[in-house]
């Protein structure tokens, strides 16, 4: 990287994305925010939408062939993609490209020349290919072409730097090899850590339903951040906010001192909501969270559910019909565990029939509220 910077010119910093999902989450935002830092010091962000390669399907980290996307799916996913991306990147300093620009123009002879630059042994160095080969699981030929095409993207845009997650290391290094074979100075590979999702184990992904979307409501974002395992607090500060060494040292010190992790999560959630919404929204959600979850007060905007006035109805039926539970079995279990309160009074009997003359507030656990309204 030092040698690249000595050239005293803006570097072309490449980030490739496959439009495989229409929503960007905090995990993907980690590498986008790093790309923005390159922009802020004068370098050029080259954002490559893999519309051509998405029709192949990236097998990275997978034990089986991934289903490719149709052109229609790609178009649908891209509708909101750029809007979300430019919440983070500076649009005026971003070169947005689609790799179909050059890959769709390759004829069979071009593809053969490309494949001649890569050996089968090199391809089998990839952990996922190697494991599938040893296990005698099928590897389709088109999957072997994917990393070659992705590497050729770096040739086509003359990338100086390629950003990505640590799971893309092999692909990006192949880009260096291919650039050399075309007489180009090889790109620097800059890898970012993968952010764990809400489960604290798997990387954040819509597929695992453990994600926080950057366009989710401020209420949803705040609540999800507050739900992360305590062991991830420092990692989220480091990867999701602009916390540098001194600030991170302070967070570490506070964690080691025995300070209540809730206080650090409140600041973390406020910072993330401020980043994707506004300072006003962040302060509002913090105050509301403290009011509802710390002081056990009801939120101001509770969903209403109408039932007939003075007519008895089974409490389990109410919870099920209102959508507060996934099943009546879950409703019974939660009531037996003492998770249900009606106007503050704990209810343990799941056989209870209720009737109301006036509005009442149901609370199930810490987060689920419902206002019963007579009609």
CATH of the domain at 235: 1.10.240
Question: Coil, strand or helix: which one is 118?
Answer: coil
Query: What does the alpha-carbon distance between residue 305 and residue 265 come to, in Å, rounded to a whole number?
Result: 32
Strand pairing report for 340-342 and 360-364 = antiparallel
Q: What pLDDT is recorded for position 142? A: 79
CA 207 to chain centre: 10
Asked if 371 and 361 count as a contact pair (C-beta separation under 8 A), the reply is yes
Q: Which of 240, 270, 294 is the last residue of a domain?
A: 294
List pLDDT tens digits, range 76-90: 888 788 889 999 999
Q: Would residue 268 count as lying in a domain?
A: yes
Helix (H) and strand (E) counts in the chain: 17, 12
Question: Coil, strand or helix: which one is 97?
Answer: strand
Q: What pLDDT is recorded for position 126? A: 86
Are 319 and 230 found together in one domain?
Answer: no
Are 70 and 135 found together in one domain?
Answer: yes
Residue-number span of the structural domain to which 324 is assigned: 304-374
Query: What does the alpha-carbon distance between residue 279 and residue 158 come to, in Å, rounded to a whole number?
Result: 40
Pull the structure tokens for residue 319: 């919870």
Domain CATH for 352: 3.10.290.10
Q: Would residue 201 count as lying in a domain?
A: no
* Residues ≥6 apart with Cβ < 8 Å to 143: 56, 57, 59, 65, 129
Pseudo-torsion of CA 311, 317, 323, 326, nearest 10°? 170
Are 224 and 183 found together in one domain?
Answer: no
Q: What percent of the chain is helix, strand and coil (3-state, nearest 5)? A: 45, 15, 40
Q: How many other CB atoms are found less than 10 A from the CB of residue 59? A: 21
Q: Would residue 207 count as lying in a domain?
A: no
Q: Would residue 208 count as lying in a domain?
A: no
Asked if 144 and 123 count as a contact pair (C-beta separation under 8 A), the reply is yes
Nearest CA-CA partner of 226 in 212, 238, 209, 213: 212
Alpha-carbon distance values, 203 to 211, 212, 350 (Å): 9, 12, 39
Q: Would residue 82 count as lying in a domain?
A: yes
Are 281 and 311 found together in one domain?
Answer: no
63 pLDDT higher than 60? no
Q: Would residue 15 count as lying in a domain?
A: yes
Q: Which secondary-structure segment (H or E) carries 218?
A: helix 218-226
61 pLDDT higher than 60? no
Q: What percent of the chain has pLDDT over 90?
A: 61
Domain CATH for 44: 3.40.50.620
Tell me the β-bridge partners of 188.
161
Q: Kindly report the backbone phi and psi dihedral angles of residue 71, in degrees, each rounded to the nearest multiple of 5, phi listed first.
A: -60, -35
Query: What does the alpha-carbon distance between residue 67 and residue 58 come to, in Å, rounded to a whole number?
Result: 9
Q: What pLDDT is recorded for position 334? A: 92
Q: Would residue 213 count as lying in a domain?
A: no
Are 63 and 82 found together in one domain?
Answer: yes
Are 186 and 317 found together in one domain?
Answer: no
Q: Which of 174, 192, 210 is the last residue of a domain?
A: 192
Are 25 and 149 found together in one domain?
Answer: yes
Are 173 and 244 found together in one domain?
Answer: no
Are 68 and 177 found together in one domain?
Answer: yes
Does residue 59 or residue 282 have the better pLDDT?
282
65 pLDDT higher than 60? no
**Three-state SS annotation for 234-249:** HHHHHHHCCCCHHHHH
List pLDDT tens digits, range 36-55: 999 999 999 999 998 888 87
> Which residue in this structure is represented by tokens 């994600």?
211
236 pLDDT higher than 60? yes
Q: Kindly report the backbone phi and psi dihedral angles of residue 324, in degrees, each rounded to the nearest multiple of 5, phi listed first.
A: -80, -15
Q: Would residue 290 count as lying in a domain?
A: yes
- pTM given for the model: 0.76
Query: What does the alpha-carbon distance between residue 77 and residue 54 come to, in Å, rounded to a whole number?
Result: 11
Are 126 and 229 found together in one domain?
Answer: no
End-to-end CA distance of the chain: 70
Alpha-carbon distance values, 360 to 56, 137, 297, 314 (Å): 55, 58, 14, 15
Q: Which of 150, 176, 192 is the last residue of a domain?
A: 192
Q: Which of 22-26, 109-113, 161-165 is predicted least confidently?
A: 22-26
What's the structural domain count of the chain?
Answer: 3
Query: What does the alpha-carbon distance between residue 79 and residue 19 come to, in Å, rounded to a whole number?
Result: 10
How many residues appear in the chain? Answer: 375
Query: E strands within 171-295?
Result: 188-192
> Which residue in this structure is represented by tokens 């050996």?
119
List pLDDT tens digits, range 128-139: 888 888 888 888
Strand pairing report for 304-307 and 368-374 = parallel
Are 181 and 35 found together in one domain?
Answer: yes
Are 141 and 6 found together in one domain?
Answer: yes
């Amino acid at each position: 990287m030092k040698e690249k910077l000595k050239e005293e010119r803006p570097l072309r910093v490449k980030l490739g994305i496959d439009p495989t999902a229409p929503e960007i989450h905090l995990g993907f935002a980690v590498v986008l925010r790093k790309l923005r830092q390159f922009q802020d010091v004068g370098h050029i962000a080259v954002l490559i939408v893999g519309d051509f390669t998405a029709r192949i399907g990236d097998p990275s980290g997978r034990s089986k062939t991934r289903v490719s996307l149709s052109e229609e799916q790609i178009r649908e996913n891209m509708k909101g993609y750029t809007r979300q991306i430019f919440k983070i990147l500076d649009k005026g300093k971003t070169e947005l490209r689609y790799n179909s620009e050059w890959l769709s123009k390759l004829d069979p002879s071009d593809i053969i020349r490309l494949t001649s630059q890569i050996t089968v042994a090199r391809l089998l160095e990839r952990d996922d290919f190697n494991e599938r080969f040893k296990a005698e699981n099928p590897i389709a030929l088109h999957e072997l072409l994917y990393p070659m095409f992705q590497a050729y993207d770096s040739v086509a845009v003359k990338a100086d730097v390629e950003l990505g997650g640590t799971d893309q290391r092999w692909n990006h290094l192949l880009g260096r090899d291919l650039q050399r074979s075309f007489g180009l100075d090889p790109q620097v590979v800059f890898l970012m850590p993968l952010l764990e999702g809400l489960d604290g184990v798997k990387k954040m992904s819509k597929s695992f339903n453990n994600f926080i979307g950057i366009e989710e409501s401020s209420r949803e974002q705040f609540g999800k951040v507050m739900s992360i395992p305590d062991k991830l607090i420092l990692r989220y500060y480091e990867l999701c906010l602009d916390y540098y060494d001194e600030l991170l040292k302070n967070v570490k010190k506070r964690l080691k001192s025995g300070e209540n992790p809730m206080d650090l999560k409140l600041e973390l959630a406020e910072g993330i909501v401020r980043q994707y919404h506004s300072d006003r929204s962040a302060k509002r959600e913090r105050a509301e969270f403290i009011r509802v979850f710390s002081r056990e007060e009801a939120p101001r905007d509770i969903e209403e559910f109408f039932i007939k006035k003075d007519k008895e109805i089974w409490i389990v039926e109410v919870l099920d019909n209102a959508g507060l539970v996934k099943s009546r079995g879950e409703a019974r279990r939660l009531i037996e565990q003492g998770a249900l309160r009606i106007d503050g009074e704990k209810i343990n009997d799941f056989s209870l029939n209720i009737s109301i003359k006036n509005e009442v507030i149901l609370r199930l656990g810490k987060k689920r509220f419902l206002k019963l309204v007579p009609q």
